[in-house]
């Protein structure tokens, strides 16, 4: 194949195949797919319906909200020169290579958006401050962290009459400590691809993930419920992924971008009325700066 300025990405690789592969990759790599209840959007306007059983009153409640998907342009830019290099290097494997690269970039932006959403909505819990003189070992630190996370998940589940299945998104430092200290007790969900995303493992009924974007001195934890359909704390509605092109002024050549359209929302039964007031999400800080063993 001869590539030139008039060549489009469609001439080099099937956009349909690439988008399908990308969307499959995102389901095991992007945090919104992993911690939220996923409801596929079939139009730009999404109606999210949730059901709650009130055993005390012996009735089922149904609640719906309607929201519009958000468009996100991924920063990844492909020129014909870049595609040409990749094509001659990988040939028929080009779809796999592009999907892997795009998946990294799209999932990274989706994860950043998720953390921003959690920061804006999660109710702020009490911080944990460790005094080294009060602790006998690093195991004491990890024990207290796990107890705090378990307590918050159980509190949210009980208050919202939901199944006891939760998620915790933690900083890299906390993740390292938890996995080393609790290695013998860690479990893994076989449906998750270990090592290809931010999934650490499952302790009890809680799935742990790493927030690799965490870059502040005080470590932070985000806690919520994860469940099928629309029973979890978060609802993620993927709509479309598509290519679009722009023209670089200096060269007149096309550059190709990915447009991701989706919606991230709180559970319709969330009774929060403002910022950091969610009844389904909690976040808290853990100050480990004084603990010199780390």
Instruction: Give residue 291's pLDDT.
Output: 58
Coil, strand, or helix at residue 88?
helix
Instruction: Give residue 194's pLDDT.
Output: 46
Q: Could you read off the pLDDT of 3-19 as tens digits, one per residue?
A: 455 555 556 667 788 78
Q: Which residues contact 89 (CB under 8 A, 6 or more apart)?
A: none
CB 187 within 8 Å of CB 200 = no
Rounded distance between C-alpha atoms, residue 143 and residue 280, angstroms: 24
CB-CB neighbours of 271 under 10 Å: 12
Instruction: Give residue 183's pLDDT.
Output: 46
> Pairing state of beta strands 254-266 and 234-247?
antiparallel
Percent pLDDT > 70 in the chain is 78
pTM of the shown model: 0.83
Instruction: Give residue 35's pLDDT.
Output: 93
DSSP state for residue 43 in the 8-state scheme: S
Nearest C-alpha neighbor of 289 from the set 174, 212, 146: 174
Q: Is 9 exposed, middle or buried (0-12, 13-18, 19+ CB in 10 A)?
A: middle
Instruction: Give residue 193's pLDDT.
Output: 53
Q: Rounded mean pLDDT of 230-253?
A: 82
Following CA atoms 235, 69, 32, 270 in sequence, which dihedral angle do they give, to the nearest 10 degrees?
-30
Second CATH level (architecture) for the domain 9-287: Alpha-Beta Complex (3.90)
Backbone angles phi, psi at 261, to 5 degrees: -120, 125
pLDDT at 177 over 50: yes
Residue 242: pLDDT band (50, 70, 90) is confident
> Token pair 């095991």 is at which residue?
28
Angle, to 10 degrees, between the axis of helix 94-121 and the axis of helix 15-29? 40
Which H/E stretch holds residue 60? strand 59-68
Instruction: Give residue 196's pLDDT.
Output: 47
């Amino acid at each position: 194949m001869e590539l030139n300025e008039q060549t489009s990405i469609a001439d080099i690789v099937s956009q349909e195949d690439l988008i399908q592969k990308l969307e499959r990759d995102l389901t095991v790599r992007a945090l919104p797919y992993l911690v939220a209840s996923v409801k596929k959007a079939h139009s730009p306007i999404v109606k999210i319906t949730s059901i709650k059983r009130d055993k005390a009153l012996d009735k089922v409640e149904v609640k719906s909200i309607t929201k519009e998907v958000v468009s996100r342009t991924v920063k990844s830019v492909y020129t014909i020169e870049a595609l040409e290099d990749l094509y001659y290097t990988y040939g028929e494997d080009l779809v796999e290579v592009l999907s892997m690269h795009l998946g990294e970039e799209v999932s990274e932006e989706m994860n950043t958006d998720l953390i921003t959403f959690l920061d804006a909505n999660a109710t702020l819990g009490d911080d944990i401050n460790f005094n080294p003189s009060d602790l006998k070992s690093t195991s004491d630190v990890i024990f207290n962290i796990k107890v705090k996370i378990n307590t918050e998940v159980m509190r949210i589940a009980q208050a919202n009459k939901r199944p006891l299945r939760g998620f915790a998104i933690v900083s890299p430092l906390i993740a390292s400590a938890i996995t080393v200290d609790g290695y013998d007790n860690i479990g893994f969900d076989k449906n998750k691809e270990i090592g290809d995303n931010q999934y650490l493992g499952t302790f009890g009924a809680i799935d742990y993930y790493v927030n690799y974007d965490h870059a502040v001195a005080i470590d932070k934890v985000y806690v919520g419920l994860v469940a099928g359909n629309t029973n979890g704390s978060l609802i993620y509605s993927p709509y479309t992924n598509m290519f679009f092109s722009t023209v670089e002024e200096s060269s007149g050549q096309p550059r190709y971008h990915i447009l991701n359209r989706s919606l991230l929302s709180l559970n319709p039964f969330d009774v929060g009325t403002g910022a950091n007031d969610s009844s389904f999400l909690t976040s808290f800080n853990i100050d480990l700066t004084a603990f010199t063993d780390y």
